[in-house]
Chain A
Amino acid sequence: MTTALNTLFITLEGARLNKEGERVVVTLHDEKKAEVPLRHLRSVVCLARAWMTPELLESCVEAGIHVSFFGMTGRFLARVEGLPGGNVLLRRAQFRAADDGARTLEIARAVVVGKLGNARQFLMHARRDAVEERKPVLEEAVRRLSGHLRALERAEDLEQVRGLEGIAARDYFEVFPSLLKGEARRFTFDGRNRRPPRDPLNALLSFGYALLAQDCAGALAGVGLDPAVGFLHEDRPGRLSLALDLMEELRAPVVDRLVFSLVNRGQLKPEDFKTEAAGGVLLRDEARKAFLVAYQSAKQVEVQHVFLGQQTSWGLVPHLQALLLARVLRGELDGYPPFAVR
């Protein structure tokens, strides 16, 4: 059970959540495990199968606290929330922009510039700390990303933008083995794979991206945007396409950085994972918990928001970016400014 930055994570299988006064009380087999004032919460995330009383659910919905449920592998299942926030006119502006080829291209391009720019920064930071013999590999990847960024400026349609994103992702993941240090070299990585992830690093990335996608969806819903109507990502039933768009620029600096710092510091080891019969890899319970704690504390870390010219925390970045996107759709900004890591 963890709470951080106003999110209550439920990791105990069979936990019961009920409301006592203005507090959420978590019990397991009649033993009290946690108690949190409702007003401190923005969301409740159930990563294990848990019970929740209707009374608590009602209070959460009324207070605008999102409740979401994940399967054991971190796969998103459901989310309970009240009426959409914000303004119907903002949502209509979002839909109109999504139907407008030129605006879709412009926003999708900005999203990919954010993704590649921050991936490049992540590799630049890694290069600085890398041993001499690994620097050339990282520098080559940085150069390739720079080339893709230049090509993006010239991309004339969405297919080119998506194509460049795909090539850049391959170039980026290719150097991941070079980011492993010392004991962590026991981890192997042969490109990104998922559904299910086939090695521990991919399992960590998938779990981290699932958490980040939920944070992004919550931030978008919070400003009144529809998390399902995206620009880079096409609409597909059941997919939170706009959340995935918003997540692109944050994948490397939030999730990838966290994954490598955990394995390189030896906080997660190959033994913390289990392989299923068909080859899918899962985090063991303790590793899941360790990852969640680290993910939540990473949100508290202060960071400079270059575009807004103010200090903020990683946890608030999705909210600020969702707001900026709403401003773009309302015509108050000349384009979408992705979060830029310095």
Chain B
Amino acid sequence: MESRETWVALSALQHLLFCERQAALIHVERLWVEDVNTAKGRLLHERVDLPGHDARPGRRVERAVRLGCQRLRLTGRADLVEYHPDSTSPTGWRPFPVEVKRARRKSEEADRVQLCAQALCLEEMHGVDVPEGALFHGAEHRRQAVRFDARLRTLTEDAVARMHELLARCQVPAVPRAPKCEKCSLESRCLPQVTAGQRRASDHLRRMVEPVEF
């Protein structure tokens, strides 16, 4: 099994569901490329602004909350956690994670998994059930409820396990070029056309030493 010192970042799950190679390049190889989209996303997260949701009575809102789950060795930060009053909770409060997304639902599954991972952290940290959260789409200014059902929880725990495996083996899987590569800010560093094995350096070198004609 993997080392006890390896922790999976909450953000890695999003990357993993989009592309295993992307996740490994960022979290194993530590590559990062800031492009227009990642910069916009970062700025959005720097000043998360959810109109109409702060003002509700009795509701506490915490931003940039540090989260962790010892059981899954999962750690990171939530954009925003709301604490709703709830008499059925032993603490009188029910945490409700909200994840802010700039893009228009690139991969809803990935977003849901990331949110569910936050819920797993909150459950362990507060010792209460977290049955529900929401995705907030910046572009649409719309909030969408997400239920953390058994299927989503399994999917999330499987993703955490897979990420642990990549980190422990320091493995960067080769993935063939796909249409989604165009949406990836790491494309220029990933060189998918090379690593899927279509190009051989030895052929290239042989052509470089061929005689030339005048």
Interface residues, chain A, CB within 8 Å of chain B?
85-87, 89-90, 110, 113-114, 117, 120, 124, 127, 139, 142, 146, 149-150, 152-153, 223-224, 306-310, 323-324, 327-328, 330, 332-338, 340
Contacts and interface: CB of A to CB of B under 8 A. Distances in A.
Given A86-B30, A324-B191, A149 B209 contact: yes
B1 interface: no
B181 interface: no
Given A114-B208, A324-B194, A336 B31 contact: no
Contact of B204 (A307, A323, A327, A332): A307
24 contacts: A87-B28, A87-B29, A87-B30, A87-B170, A114-B208, A146-B211, A146-B212, A149-B209, A307-B199, A307-B201, A307-B204, A308-B191, A308-B194, A309-B199, A310-B193, A323-B191, A327-B194, A335-B200, A335-B202, A335-B205, A337-B199, A337-B205, A338-B205, A338-B208
A47 to B, nearest CB: 28
Contacts of A153: 209
Contacts of B174: 332
B201 A334 contact: yes
Nearest to B211: A146
A336 to B, nearest CB: 6
Contact of A139 (B172, B209, B214): B214
Given A308-B193, A334-B202, A340-B207, A120 B212 contact: yes
A113 B29 CA distance: 29
B6 interface: no
A86 B26 CA distance: 9
Given A113-B208, A308-B199, A338-B205, 6 more contacts: A110-B201, A113-B209, A117-B209, A124-B212, A149-B208, A330-B172
B134 to A, nearest CB: 32
B29 A86 contact: yes
Contact of A309 (B189, B193, B214): B193
A85 B30 contact: yes
Contacts of A223: 31, 189
